[in-house]
Structure 1
């Protein structure tokens, strides 16, 4: 009998990350020996900290404005303040443009990496050099979803892993060709990893084993390739524009 199985764990022992830290060395020290085909999933927060993306900003709202390309929706909250859904410089549509004020020094905020795909590629290169085995890397961030409560992690950066599995034209279980099925592989792995990383456990890194059939020899197209742009975006006109 063939069994489909995936293992996912978040190692303990990652120290607080600061600008200039060797993130690959910290990951290896916490995760231990990696195996060929492992996918290393890293929170964008620690990537941003290592890359010095923590900036002085007494006003988080101004920082959000600075990172915003397009405002999609604005809603006043019952307890005061506004929630802004915007498109940021990476083309990602979400709350607050990815500007984070949690777990950082007072008077500062944390911005997303400048190029999360490039960040993932650099980390992958360093991890392969340190471990001697091919691995994939995902950089993740937390987003809400339209029409559904709750947040989930998605991949905003990817290297060495197929971000989607395009099954269009492949036969289904009854032999009929599938017409629209494109599996969001990187996002599904990101969500799985978030279940073990948690939000307040100081475990910003997870290792996923069993997804080696999606791990690539090259860096691949990256997570930016899954962002719908222009006419592909069926919901581009937000409530503010409407």
Structure 2
């Protein structure tokens, strides 16, 4: 069977194996030395390791509870609902409680995510190659929820020596349809497959995935890492939770602007102004600005402008004779 566009691809079989026998990992342990006796690695395999054992080996275990450690692991809060806090971490990951885990660790202790999961993956890959001569990809995983979906699945928070996302843009399917934005996040798919073999309560934090050697990069080429799968700040359509977005738009703090994204086109702002303020606002496009009746100025206008990446100018609009026109002007904020 051949793929469209005469592309060579993987076979139809992918396997995941998660061995028993890894002892409790503690700070300073040589993780590669512990796992190598348990696995039979071949060139092109992907070694999958949970972030928890990586963090334990790297000394990222702390005493206390999640709440005490959360602030230090948080770049900004995305949303809060009851006891659940979703944050963007210093890595750029968006996770509940910053990925801080209190399971499979001694009572009274918590495990933080690795300081730099991609660097951890690179170190593991280099050590495996040095000791075995095998060229493998490495994925460091953690568990995360998904927007619009119940339940959780493992994702790649670190990766080395691996294509983390395939790109099918510009190719065609078997029916001739163009694939415009299809980009499978294969590192995440590998993480989810490995978790099926590991199990949550099986005490098997290491797995080997075989059958996608086409994704493994040559020795010395570590690739962009799992950081390449993180959308830049402001590039996500859901930078805040619904309630938080309303509060931040009303507050209008410039420091909260970036997660709302780049300034919207004027047509989108005009549609929102008409929907919220109605026809009396007489919102319209004039050159590179949007004008609105002064009578419509107020918190609602300011919040809409902020949310769409625009600002309300302080000075009223004047005619050629310097007479006030009874309008206020909105312009896009600077990039």
Instruction: Give the TM-score category using the shorter length.
Output: over 0.9
User: Which of these residues, 61, 71, 79, is aligned with residue 54 of structure 1?
Assistant: 61
Q: Partner residue of 1:73?
A: 79
Cα distance in structure 1, aligned partners of 2:14 and 2:156: 18
Select the structure of larger CA radius of gyration.
2
Structure with larger RCO (C-alpha < 8 A, sep 6+): 1
Change (3 A) 1:136 1:100: same
1:64 aligns to 2:70 (yes or no) = yes
Length-normalised TM-score, structure 2: 0.68
Structure with more helix by fraction = 2
Q: In the alignment, does 2:87 pair up with 1:86?
A: yes
State the Cα distance separating 1:72 from its structure 2 match. Answer: 1.3
Shift of 1:42: 0.3
Give the superposed CA RMSD: 1.3
Q: Which residue of 1 aligns with 2:309?
A: none
Distance (Å, rounded) in 2 between the aligned partners of 1:24 and 1:84? 34
Q: Which residues in structure 2 correspond to 1:84-163 (within 5 Å)? A: 84-163=85-164
**TM-score normalised by the chain length of structure 1:** 0.93
Name the SS of the counterpart of 1:129 in structure 2: helix
| Secondary structure of 1:142 counterpart | strand
Report Cα offsets for 1:14-45 as digits up to 9, x if no partner. Answer: 111011111111111111x2100000000000
Q: Deviations over 1:74-98 (max 9, x none)?
A: 112xxxxx01111111111111101
How far has the Cα of 1:199 moved from its partner?
0.7
Contact 2:66 2:97 in 1 (8 A): no
What is the DSSP-based 3-state SS (H/G/I as helix, E as strand, rest coil) of the residue aligned with 2:179?
coil
Q: SS of 1:241's equivalent?
A: helix
The count of corresponding residues between Structure 1 and Structure 2 is 235
Structure 1 residues not aligned, in runs of 5+? 77-81
Gap runs ≥5 in structure 2: 3-10, 247-335
Matched with 2:46 is: 39
TM-superposed deviation, 1:60:
2.1
